[in-house]
Amino acid sequence: MAAATLVLVMLVVTVGVAVAMAEGGKLWQGYYEQSCPRAEQIVKHYVERHVPHAPSVAATLIRTHFHDCFVRGCDASVLLNATTGGGEAEKDATPNLTLRGFAFLDRVKALLEQECPGVVSCADILALASRDAVGVIGGPFWRVPTGRRDGRVSIKQEALDQIPAPTMNFTDLLTSFRAKGLDLADLVWLSGAHTIGISHCNSFTERLYNFTGRGGPGDADPSLDAEYAANLRRTKCTTPTDNTTIVEMDPGSFLTFDTSYYRGLLKRRGLFQSDAALITDAAARADVESVAKGPSEVFFQVFARSMVRMGMIEVKTGGEGEIRRHCAVVNS
């Protein structure tokens, strides 16, 4: 058996184990077969109809799913609006201000409420829509065990405290992931979601203009390829205060789910400090090198495995939480 084939077989087994773990945690494949048989089909059909016309939605759904799971678990708390009493919600925190796709998810939820009122959670809709959107743009497919329930609490400060920052070094990133039950491999593979999507300049401007605090174009992060940094300053983030210009996280390939993100890391062209951090650790760098040189199928399999694991973080099941009628507000 060829080495690459052997790796793929092992990874398929690993994904299967992850789903079995989900079942033990009261999530399982086909949770809605009896209560809402067409639930997954409705989500998939809507995604397949609309994402081809707006492929960037795939990146924002993955990011929203990730940011949701890292705060209070995968309970759709990131979709909640601030309370009428003035308490700010997760979506009001700086890391979430550039999230989009809320209206997209609301439309999917409305279709499911019409089909099966009060049955399908917003948390499951987000997990399913993220998976299906990645598939539409040519990325991997993974099995999504369902049965999540929606949280009733959303606090801005918790998002600020728990969502990994783009300025983090490797130690802080790994600590953040381990706090959620994820490991080094999950950190490397989930970072691969940066193969799609965009960022605003203010998320990484310090790497271009003020890395040590001295200021100016000469104060760039030395871990960033000098030619790439100069090009960003010249054509994209032309001032240190630019907070509106958008930049592709995987230049020339930001709508294609592929391994070019990892190849960019090895050229020191990761956009964020957190990207660059992945090649500062020997084990993480070895994983990056292996997937950068291998067939895309290997990346697809390991990414799928880690998405299944991430989707099980601190899930609410059974009598916990609720099934929201509208994703932006708790039930009255």
* Distance from C-alpha of 80 to C-alpha of 154, rounded to nearest angstrom: 6
Question: Is residue 186 marked as binding?
Answer: no
**Mean pLDDT, to the nearest integer, of 9-27?**
45
Tell me which amino acid residue 90 is: E
The model's pLDDT over 142-155, given as tens digits with 9 standing for 90+, comes to 999 999 999 999 99
User: Per the annotation, does 195 bind a ligand?
Assistant: yes
Domain extents in the chain: 36-196+248-309
The pLDDT value recorded for residue 15 is 43
The percentage of the chain sitting over the pLDDT mark of 70, rounded to a whole number, equals 92
Q: In the structure encoding, which two tokens stand for residue 160, read together?
A: 């600020």
- Measure the CA–CA gap between 113 and 326, rounded to whole angstroms: 9
**What single-letter amino acid sits at 218?**
G
pLDDT beyond 60 at 12: no
Q: What is the pLDDT of residues 257-271, one digit of tens each?
A: 999 999 999 999 999
The sign of the torsion formed by the CA atoms of 101, 103, 108, 112 equals positive
Annotated ligand binding at 73? The verdict is yes
Between 38 and 215, whose confidence is greater? 38
Active-site positions read: 67
- Per-residue tokens: 20: 């079995």
275 is in an annotated binding site: no
User: How far apart (Å, rounded) are the C-alpha atoms in residues 191 and 303?
Assistant: 9
Q: What is the pLDDT of residues 22-71, one digit of tens each?
A: 333 589 999 999 999 999 999 999 999 999 999 999 999 999 999 999 99
Annotated ligand binding at 200? The verdict is no
Q: pLDDT tens across 82-138, in order?
A: 986 668 999 999 999 999 999 999 999 999 999 999 999 999 999 999 999 999 999
Select 36-196+248-309's CATH number: 1.10.520.10, 1.10.150.570, 3.30.1490.190, 3.40.50.150: 1.10.520.10
Alpha-carbon span 70 to 180, nearest angstrom:
7
Question: The pTM is what?
Answer: 0.91
| DSSP states along 170-216 | HHHHHHHHHTTT--HHHHHHHHGGGGS-EEEGGGTHHHHH-SSSS-S
> Residue 160, by phi and psi: left (phi above 0), alpha (psi -120 to 50) or beta?
alpha
Residue written as tokens 């992945």? Answer: 278
Q: Is 75 annotated as a binding residue?
A: yes
150 is in an annotated binding site: no
- Element containing residue 227 per DSSP (H, E): helix 226-235
Quick one: average pLDDT of 315-319? 95
Report the percentage of the chain scoring pLDDT > 90.
86
- Concatenate the DSSP letters of all residues of 65-86 into one string: HHHHHTTTSSSSGGGPPPPTTS
How does residue 290 score in pLDDT terms, banded at 50, 70 and 90?
very high
Mean of per-residue pLDDT scores for the chain: 91
